[in-house]
Amino acid sequence: MQETKEKLPKGQVSYIAEENAPLRALAQVNQEMVQEVGRRCADQKIATIDLDATIIESWKREARPTYQGIHGYQPMLALWAEMDLVVADEFRDGNAPAQMAPLAATKRAFQALPSTVKEYYFRGDSACWEGDLLKWLRDEQRPEGPQGQIIFGISVRMTPT
């Protein structure tokens, strides 16, 4: 994490740390479990990925302040909505905004889905209104993801204009 902090542009205080080996191993176990669920429920041909970050309050010294003013963490979870199953996650400090790089977790979520899934959907709140993610979702020849259409719905922040 220290190396990641040192690489930050001047003035930037939030970042998403790369997963260490134990967390990558845990992600692999989760992906294998998702594949097994897909094998056992092969008739489930639809997957809606629901991406959301949530604030978890913490009193640990390392916990960073969140946009709500409390200290904590803000992990991002990708849920396969039809199966009520977490397919990907990303640990984040509390000061890492949800709109910061949601594409990586989205890619991992779609990659985790079993090959039995044939229809793809995505839903996200306004934190998912992010250029790289939108471009990837629209690209039917997207690298690192399913080929073809992903139908998506993403809310947008309301402004007076």
The 10s digit of each residue's pLDDT in 81-114 is: 999 999 999 888 877 778 888 999 999 999 999 9
For the chain, report the end-to-end CA distance as a whole number of angstroms.
40
Burial status of residue 19 (CB atoms within 10 A of its CB: 0-12, 13-18, 19 or more): middle
What is the distance of C-alpha 76 from the center of its chain? 5
- Report helix, strand or coil for 132: helix
Taking all residues of the chain, what is their mean pLDDT, rounded to a whole number?
87
Question: pTM for this structure?
Answer: 0.84
49 pairs with which residues across the strands? 80, 122
pLDDT band at 131 (very low <50, low <70, confident <90, very high): very high
CA 33/CA 152 separation, integer angstroms: 25
CA 109/CA 104 separation, integer angstroms: 9
pLDDT at position 11? 54
The phi and psi torsions of 22 (rounded to 5 degrees) equal: -60, -40
Contact present, 97 and 59 (Cβ < 8 Å): no
Contact present, 73 and 58 (Cβ < 8 Å): yes
Return the DSSP state at 96. S
pLDDT in tens, 40-83: 999 999 999 999 988 889 898 888 888 888 888 888 999 999 99
